[in-house]
Amino acid sequence: MEEGFPTLRPNCVEELTIPDIYQITDKKEKCLYFDSGSENIRVLVFCTENNLKILKKCSQWYTNGTFKSAPPLFNQFFVIHGKLNDRSIFPLIYSIMTHKTEQAYDILFNFLADELG
């Protein structure tokens, strides 16, 4: 197995660790921007600093949560798109969540509120 690649699949979300190699883009930018931790409700947010800056400038946000494409151990894949310059819509924030509850959404949107000021 190559260095930095996990050798075992976790059996539960509490065992899931993301190797450093998967926390950055090919341009060495941070892309695992938030991990709520290994508690009962786990929320991972993938984006770049530039995507957050763009989202802050967007006049409107559009969201889409899907359940069938969520990876194992997670129940939802959630994407936030931003409308920029009143014409272009871009996917900017990607999140995987273990739960589809108000508390899980609070974790995600509180993270965004903190990051975007």
Q: Which of 87, 49, 43 is nearest to 65 (CA)?
A: 43
Q: 19 pLDDT exceeds 70?
A: yes
Displacement of CA 82 from its chain's centroid (Å)? 15
pLDDT in tens, 24-72: 999 999 999 999 986 789 999 999 999 999 999 998 999 999 999 999 9
User: What is the rounded CA–CA span in Å between residue 35 and residue 32?
Assistant: 7
Q: 23 pLDDT exceeds 50?
A: yes
Asked if 74 and 80 touch (Cβ cutoff 8 Å), the reply is no
User: What is the rounded CA–CA span in Å between residue 73 and residue 13?
Assistant: 6
Examine residue 45 and state whether it is found in any structural domain, yes or no.
yes
Examine residue 10 and state whether it is found in any structural domain, yes or no.
no
Asked if 38 and 12 touch (Cβ cutoff 8 Å), the reply is no
**What's the number of domains the chain is made of?**
1
Confidence of residue 9 (pLDDT cuts 50, 70, 90): confident
Question: Which residue range(s) make up the domain with 112?
Answer: 25-116
Examine residue 29 and state whether it is found in any structural domain, yes or no.
yes
